[in-house]
Amino acid sequence: MSTIALNGQKTNTVGMLPSRGARIPSFMLTKMDLSNVGNNDFSGKRLVFNIFPSIDTPVCAASVRRFNEAASSLENTLVLCVSRDLPFALSRFCGAEGLNNVIALSAFRNDSFGKDFGVTILDGPLAGLLSRAVIISDTSGKVIYAEQVPEITQEPDYKAALSILQ
């Protein structure tokens, strides 16, 4: 279990992020067109998991915009923006913002994503949503970077995450 905060109030997640060198857990997520994708759909690519509570908050929206900007220059890398938002909300946001360098995915059908990645929030006002985290895997599916953002209202350390991919 990890302890994080929302506006300074402690809250807990279901577990710990996958550790460096571990394999990315098997996952199934829902795309904006309601089709499902999983690990096998991204084999041979480096993956950046930008995980967040909801696209309808300023910090979450900022992280999607920032990773969208960076994604265009990352070789053999896909940025997966993952939340429990419905695919319709993700589609509305990405369409309105013109964000097409990231892949917006929903965990609304699959509770195991949050549990397996250690990011489901267990208590507090955001219980059931995903915490803010960045996990990066190499082309073989092994974790090369993991950040659990300690305060949900803070953005992730983009510089540290993106420097791993240079």
Instruction: Report d(CA 115, CA 32) in Å as an integer.
Output: 22
The CB density around residue 89, as the number of other CB atoms within 10 Å, is 18
Which among 24, 32, 60, 82 is annotated as catalytic?
Answer: 60
Burial 110-120 (b: 16+ CB within 10 A, else e): beebbebbbbb
Contacts of 30 (CB under 8 A, 6+ apart): 36, 37, 87, 105, 106, 107, 108, 109, 110
Q: How far apart are CA 58 and CA 73, in angstroms?
A: 24
CA distance 131 to 153: 10
Whether residue 94 lies in the annotated active site? no
Active-site residues: which are they?
A: 60
